[in-house]
Amino acid sequence: MITQEDLAKKLGLTRTTVARALNGSKDIKAETKKRILDLAEKEGYQKNYLGSYLAGKGKKNIYALIVKSLNEEYAIQIKKGLKDIQKELEDFGFKIKILETDIKNIDEQIMSLKNILTKNIDGLIIAPLDKEKIKKILTPYLDKIKIVTIGETIENENLFIESGYYKSGRVAGNILSTLIKKNKKILIFDGGDDRISSKKYLEGFLSQIEFSLLKYKEPIFIENMLENKNKLKEYIDEDIDGIYLNRYAPEIIEYLKSENIINLKIVTNGFNKKIEKMLNNKDIIATVSEDFYEQGYYAGKNLFEILYKPNLKKPQNYTTKINILFKESLVKLGDLK
């Protein structure tokens, strides 16, 4: 490993000057800087970030602005991931301040962001609700603050963690298709747009479903679903062998059971405690979801690397893993023996 000291010796300079060149100080003659940088390049110098950290003791100011959705599991898992990576890196003084706002309250997120920006901040993790507004607000800070976005890109961030809801929908479509009896149909339920996942799930699902499987040309949409569950029954008949859901699954399934409509093959997108229970009950055959824990963990980990490792070709994009869960997926290996 080649050090700043090594470079200094070869050029007849001191470490201090070399460090200055490497850290982009302007208190240095352009020519000296060039000589140093050229040699560093030639010798394949890589800054040791351990030394940097220890010397700098650089406590970075990092915020994560996450979103509480109808599916509580979403925020819980992301937070868990953030906290785990924080713990792993605590020896670096790596600490993330987590702020949560409500998914339905776009302005709350904007306000929260503006508030954070009044402080001295080095890194930001955000799941933007209103992409355009957030982008506009952040633009002036882009060279000061390292940014990781989750779910939605603002196009100038250092890393965008993509959720792949569309793909999850496709996979769900793939699975449900294989389950349906010949000449039977499926019912597709449109849960509306939650500004995060629902719409994209549905689009992906539809892209996978063959025309012949459709009972209705359009997905079923029921206004104020939770109050109007009884309307669902109108759409169900002998033809139908399966249902796709991505919102209100617990409520809808509960309702169907109460009406004694059973034995339908149900595949969902998303995961939370209720869906887990329904899988266990065999009310649902399979669900397809993103690994939100991993999103939090990966967001934190990468922000750390971007912040602490100066010589890093930064990752541009990352797509979350997609998990397919059947009932048996939930069983812990330890419980089997």
Partner DNA sequence: TTGAAAGCGCTACCAT
Partner DNA sequence: ATGGTAGCGCTTTCAA
Binding footprint of DNA on the chain (CB under 7 A): 1, 3-5, 12-17, 19-20, 22-23, 26-30, 32-33, 47-48, 51-52, 54-58, 310
H/E element holding 279?
helix 273-280
Phi, psi (deg, nearest 5) at residue 98: -100, 125
Distance CA 207, CA 212 (A): 13
Question: Does 54 interact with a second copy (rule: CB under 8 A)?
Answer: yes
What does the DSSP 8-state code read for residue 234? Answer: G
Pattern of binders to a second copy over 240-269, x per CB under 8 A? -------------------------x----
Question: Does 312 interact with a second copy (rule: CB under 8 A)?
Answer: no
92 binds, among a second copy, DNA, none (CB under 5 to 8 A by kind): a second copy
Phi, psi (deg, nearest 5) at residue 272: -160, -175
Distance CA 234, CA 301 (A): 49
- In contact, 164 and 290? CB cutoff 8 Å: yes
Question: Does 138 interact with a second copy (rule: CB under 8 A)?
Answer: no
Question: Does 329 interact with a second copy (rule: CB under 8 A)?
Answer: yes
- Nearest approach in angstroms of CB 18 to DNA is 8
Question: Does 141 interact with a second copy (rule: CB under 8 A)?
Answer: no
22 binds, among DNA, a second copy, none (CB under 5 to 8 A by kind): DNA
Closest CB to a second copy among residues 12, 334: 334
Helix (H), strand (E), coil (C) string for 127-188: CCCCHHHHHHHHHHHCCCCEEEEECCCCCCCCEEEECCHHHHHHHHHHHHHHHCCCCCEEEE
**CB-count burial class (<10 Å; 0-12, 13-18, 19+) for 31:** exposed
Question: Does 199 interact with a second copy (rule: CB under 8 A)?
Answer: no
**CB-count burial class (<10 Å; 0-12, 13-18, 19+) for 210:** exposed
Considering only 14, 34, 51, 231, the residue that binds a second copy (CB under 8 A) is 51
91 binds, among a second copy, DNA, none (CB under 5 to 8 A by kind): a second copy
**In the structure encoding, which two tokens stand for residue 202, read together?**
């549905």
CB under 8 A: which stretch of 119-127, 132-140, 212-220, 317-325 binds a second copy?
317-325
- Nearest approach in angstroms of CB 50 to DNA is 7
Radius of gyration of the chain (CA): 26
Place of tokens 């503006």: 114
Question: Does 322 interact with a second copy (rule: CB under 8 A)?
Answer: yes
Closest CB to DNA among residues 27, 210: 27
Closest CB to DNA among residues 143, 155: 143
What does the DSSP 8-state code read for residue 260? Answer: T
Phi, psi (deg, nearest 5) at residue 127: -105, 95
Distance CA 267, CA 284 (A): 6
Q: Which residues bind a second copy (CB under 8 A)?
A: 1, 46, 48-51, 53-54, 91-93, 162, 164, 166-167, 170-171, 173-175, 178-179, 181, 208, 265, 285-286, 309, 319, 322-329, 331-334, 336
